[in-house]
Structure 1
């Protein structure tokens, strides 16, 4: 059963909120016919305000519980939907008082149904991303509230797919949760990661080549099919590193490009885990991918890695480029380096391969530890050299990136692309304008004050100073990259 919900004309164009909705409208929207009292007073704010009613049922890590979602714009009800909701995140769930949520849109009978929000293409899987706030230990990862949104929009401006986003304010039952980023969950879809559907019967030579989505990441509850009380997930650190043959496969090579001699799937955080890189089956899902399809994609990655290691970069011939779309590697590298995403390459890293196509990096994901808050890597250092700055993290950067940087052809491609971007969307003026427009939108609609009245009072946030710091960082980081890349 499929139900396609529609918008009132009042929210047509909301997908461009940050870019164009910083001015107050001349005509207010008609008031909603129902009486609704928000948990906070929003005045004439143009940020969409979401109310989720759980009917008194506690939200779990999994499975999703049924709830009702209503979307308000300028206090007018513009959309409602039946949803399933659960907590999401592993490390962020444990660290943050301000939780993130995964939601699915459901029909009345509980079946999945595709719905459009904010003008985004219809789908069923969405995310309400919070900002990590730990009041007890006194830290906030992203005081600007825009790290995710800014990076995704920048990647999109580079001509790549990134999760579509919308700033919203969230209320669950009668509890105001603050500013969130409503975003698309990354998945195979013609309007998201656009690759061919791979059926279990697709085993012939041409059919088995795609599509696939892999992820370099921690394992989480969903991967391991863990059904435990919520309290379990507050301290289940070992499950982040519990790789199994059912859900993943390991690279043949360690982080230095040497063949791995010890067995895969060891105990979480074993002594040599930092040497390993695991690839999680994201699509087809681990419970659906066939043995033949596993063998194909494992062999494909192995052949690429072997070619990358054995190619003679002093010659003109390359074989590793037969396996990868090099331009996607260049763009993935540049975006993650600009935003100093310290998780890049080693966590929250997506790869995809279409039928008959080559391996692509991306989309980019999870940018909440970076920018001017990416302290594990200095502002004058490459994130790809993370292994030089951090010793024996359980998750280290695969050998791919330092090896690619040894290739004059890769460096030349980076240089050409960088110079083009710096003349446009990655110019200092363009980056600064993006930050200013986003900050103005959130400030002028009162969302920053409401969010920090709810979160981080004891910590204290000078939002103007946070925005100034972000702009200074972007200017200094890109200037440093100019100097480095000009020498390529």
Structure 2
């Protein structure tokens, strides 16, 4: 028995040695790596995601609100370095900056000396100003705006589908100084450019004052006098949101009811009558560059439009307000913002443009963070233009323009014709659903949703599939309700 046992043990020993030799002769098992092909370590493992992964490094410098700091941005796809660029980076946003733990960024592409330079990303036209837009997450109060992660890209895509320029972009994942920050939308800043807001340039020596201009109905921008202040200042800097001055803006001559304003402009922030005012911020030329003559021209142009809109008799065929505005742009702006129930539309984040020798046009659309199925300030079955009926004395209310336009049978007929045509094609129920599905499929198949919420859910309890179903059902219900309302005009 001992001899048999010894033989049996020998067989086992030979088998084990052979197995070890076989294993050692094979290629070693490759563990998942969390670094790029250039050796750059990643904060997470992106696996084989085709979504671009951005690694931003400020070399230890704290990112300010403004002005920015120099950094290096590397862009990887499937862990392969595809682009490297020097940038100037700063935080962006107002309410979202103060309330969110996941903040957005302004980026400017720069050369080796720190001067701005035009660069193309992801096949988009070259420019130097870009945005990284996230969704708002607040741990303390346990809320997230836009659980779907696609509100802004979706709205911009719908705008482009109907033939209007909107900020182009790309879904990306971002890490900054070694910390994974999740999914963002890398997109174009809205600005005058032949590939963005395509209007003529207007400099200080221009003799043709008719354009181009870009105005914003929005919260006020902190001026250069705030450059270099600490982040703590901007975290509590609510007053500057409402600090309008003759340098940065001009005021409508009429209140939100279309009545002449009788009290002085540019009063202290949040004064008791501010809700009655509408201010127009100088976006292009900006507050530092616009000349007194240009200010006078564009403010008088708005005044003439408003007077005509108020004076026209809608009981007859003749209109004079249409001499001042591109009616189609107003129609399209109304349709996209109402379909997406953008509660910020008309009153903040609202762009207007006037090209040289052209009429005032609305757009591009911008900022849908508080929209769609989460825009609870406005019922599913009412128009956003009626915001003033639901929110009283907000410092930023909807101007009288929209009530007045919707009192005009000719404007309503233009909306009805356009909406009816779009519902058969670019804004059909099937197209709305497929647009959502395509974006969601891209994010899910590449694992971006899972990675993002592993970072940001933090006990909030996001059910992503449910959020997408809610968004799609909202679009079905909202478009159907608009069919009934607009169809009855």
Instruction: With the length of structure 2 as denominator, give the TM-score of the two structures.
Output: 0.92
- Matching residue of 2:345: 344
Q: Evaluate the alpha carbon distance shift between residue 475 and residue 222 of structure 1 in structure 2; reply closer, same or farther with a 3 A threshold.
A: farther
Question: In the aligned structure 1, how far is the partner of 2:277 from the partner of 2:227?
Answer: 24
The alpha-carbon deviation at position 201 of structure 1 amounts to: 1.2
Deviations 1:135-175 (A, max 9, x none): 11010000000000000010011101100010000000110
Tell me if structure 2 keeps the 8 A contact 1:329–1:361.
yes
- Matching residue of 1:456: 457
Question: In the aligned structure 2, how far is the partner of 1:198 from the partner of 1:430?
Answer: 39
Question: In the aligned structure 2, how far is the partner of 1:274 from the partner of 1:58?
Answer: 37
Tell me if structure 1 keeps the 8 A contact 2:133–2:184.
yes
The alpha-carbon deviation at position 66 of structure 1 amounts to: 0.3
The alpha-carbon deviation at position 130 of structure 1 amounts to: 1.2
- Matching residue of 1:109: 113
Question: In the aligned structure 2, how far is the partner of 1:215 from the partner of 1:34?
Answer: 43
Q: Is the counterpart of residue 53 in structure 1 residue 57 in structure 2?
A: yes
Deviations 1:426-448 (A, max 9, x none): 11111011111111110110000
Question: In the aligned structure 1, how far is the partner of 2:162 from the partner of 2:278?
Answer: 28
- Matching residue of 1:75: 79
Q: Partner of 2:119: helix, strand, or coil?
A: coil
- Matching residue of 2:198: 194
Tell me if structure 2 keeps the 8 A contact 1:223–1:247.
no
Point out which structure has higher relative CO (alpha carbons under 8 A, 6+ apart).
Answer: 1
Question: In the aligned structure 2, how far is the partner of 1:474 from the partner of 1:194?
Answer: 31
For structure 1, the residue ranges without an aligned partner over 5 or more in a row are: 1-30
- Matching residue of 1:149: 153
The alpha-carbon deviation at position 197 of structure 1 amounts to: 0.4
1:3-14 → structure 2 map (5 Å cutoff): none
Q: Is the counterpart of residue 164 in structure 1 residue 168 in structure 2?
A: yes
Q: Is the counterpart of residue 354 in structure 1 residue 358 in structure 2?
A: no
The alpha-carbon deviation at position 457 of structure 1 amounts to: 2.2
The alpha-carbon deviation at position 273 of structure 1 amounts to: 0.2
The alpha-carbon deviation at position 425 of structure 1 amounts to: 1.6
Question: In the aligned structure 2, how far is the partner of 1:90 from the partner of 1:479?
Answer: 34
- Matching residue of 1:293: 294
- Matching residue of 2:70: 66
For structure 2, the residue ranges without an aligned partner over 5 or more in a row are: 1-34
- Matching residue of 1:94: 98
Q: Is the counterpart of residue 444 in structure 1 residue 448 in structure 2?
A: no
The alpha-carbon deviation at position 37 of structure 1 amounts to: 2.3
- Matching residue of 1:21: none
Question: In the aligned structure 2, how far is the partner of 1:127 from the partner of 1:229?
Answer: 21
Question: In the aligned structure 2, how far is the partner of 1:158 from the partner of 1:222?
Answer: 36
Tell me if structure 2 keeps the 8 A contact 1:156–1:162.
yes
The alpha-carbon deviation at position 222 of structure 1 amounts to: 4.5
- Matching residue of 2:309: 308
The alpha-carbon deviation at position 221 of structure 1 amounts to: 2.3
Question: In the aligned structure 2, how far is the partner of 1:36 from the partner of 1:298?
Answer: 52
Compute the RMSD of aligned alpha carbons.
1.0
Deviations 1:323-355 (A, max 9, x none): 000000000000000000000000000000000
The alpha-carbon deviation at position 226 of structure 1 amounts to: 4.7
Question: In the aligned structure 2, how far is the partner of 1:342 from the partner of 1:62?
Answer: 27
Question: In the aligned structure 2, how far is the partner of 1:457 from the partner of 1:476?
Answer: 31
- Matching residue of 2:241: 240
Deviations 1:18-42 (A, max 9, x none): xxxxxxxxxxxxx964112211111
Tell me if structure 2 keeps the 8 A contact 1:90–1:220.
no
Instruction: With the length of structure 1 as denominator, give the TM-score of the two structures.
Output: 0.92
| Structure with bigger gyration radius | 2
Tell me if structure 2 keeps the 8 A contact 1:328–1:360.
yes
- Matching residue of 2:127: 123
Question: In the aligned structure 1, how far is the partner of 2:37 from the partner of 2:377?
Answer: 52
Deviations 1:11-67 (A, max 9, x none): xxxxxxxxxxxxxxxxxxxx9641122111111101000000110000000111000
Question: In the aligned structure 2, how far is the partner of 1:391 from the partner of 1:351?
Answer: 25
Q: Partner of 2:343: helix, strand, or coil?
A: coil
Question: In the aligned structure 2, how far is the partner of 1:466 from the partner of 1:111?
Answer: 43
Q: Partner of 2:45: helix, strand, or coil?
A: coil
Q: Partner of 2:209: helix, strand, or coil?
A: helix
The alpha-carbon deviation at position 227 of structure 1 amounts to: 3.8
Q: Partner of 2:267: helix, strand, or coil?
A: coil
Q: Is the counterpart of residue 136 in structure 1 residue 137 in structure 2?
A: no
Tell me if structure 2 keeps the 8 A contact 1:350–1:361.
yes
Q: Partner of 1:82: helix, strand, or coil?
A: strand
Q: Partner of 2:196: helix, strand, or coil?
A: coil
Question: In the aligned structure 2, how far is the partner of 1:175 from the partner of 1:474?
Answer: 35
- Matching residue of 2:388: 387
Q: Partner of 1:171: helix, strand, or coil?
A: strand
Q: What number of residue pairs does the alignment pair up?
A: 455
